Amino acid sequence: MTLSIIIPILNEARALPATLSALQHSTSDAELIVVDGGSIDDSVAIAGQYGATVLNTAAGRARQMNLGAKQASGDYLLFLHADTRLPANVEPVIRSALARHDWGRFDVIISGQHPMLKVIGFMMNWRSRLSGIATGDQALFIRRETFSAVGGFPEQDLMEDIALSQRLKHLGSPACLKQKVVTSGRRWEQNGVWRTIWLMWRLRFAYWRGACPSQLARRYH
């Protein structure tokens, strides 16, 4: 059973080398697909240097990941952010998890200097276990046939990971792995940790109340 790793990118030249280099050490037989949404930096060239299959489409993380999944040949799909690193020996870990579940995610550690980042990561993992909802930072993985059965990611401008999780919950609970991925805390540190926490909670609450994802995306960016 083979694994395809799908990474949506948009101007990720700074983050990609570390992520792709780590993948070369943590995976052996996995197919690597990078889907570019119109980068104007060296992202595409860097992806090619690391042997990834590079696809191009209009910007939009959901659209990019759906295209990657469509072109993937693996039995299992893993969706990875460009600034997130997987644990070692990830392939047997995912195969074991998907022998019992249709989908799953990892626990997450958020790297950075601010002490609240550890708390944010802990709360994300705790909330995910209680709710059965996973976020893209937690490196979602899924059986290929399950992804197709739910229609893939809804092609909306924000909260596509939450929307997919809600679809998948109807099929079963996720495998919530204690193995940890490490994701960058750059968004929190650049925009202010407390300000970003407040913004994300407001956006999630608005989404739960039925707000349009396109309007939320404008507020997010």
CA nearest to 139, candidates 169, 177, 101, 112: 177
Tell me the whole-structure pTM to 2 decimals: 0.92
Q: Is 100 exposed, middle or buried (0-12, 13-18, 19+ CB in 10 A)?
A: exposed
Is residue 117 classed as helix, strand or coil in its secondary structure?
helix
CA nearest to 104, candidates 4, 174, 5: 174
**Which tens digits make up the pLDDT trace of 20-55?**
998 987 777 899 999 999 999 999 999 999 999 999
DSSP assignment of 61-103, as one string? HHHHHHHHHHH---SEEEE--TTEEPPTTHHHHHHHHHTT-SE
Report d(CA 5, CA 7) in Å as an integer. 7
Is residue 183 classed as helix, strand or coil in its secondary structure?
strand
What does the mean pLDDT of the chain come to? Answer: 92
Residue 69 is encoded by which pair of tokens? Answer: 């999944």
**Which tens digits make up the pLDDT trace of 104-149?**
999 999 999 999 999 999 999 999 999 999 999 999 999 999 999 9
* Domains and their CATH numbers in the chain: 3-220 (3.90.550.10)
**Which tens digits make up the pLDDT trace of 79-88?**
999 999 999 8
Q: What is the pLDDT at residue 173?
A: 94
CA nearest to 157, candidates 106, 221, 109, 95: 221
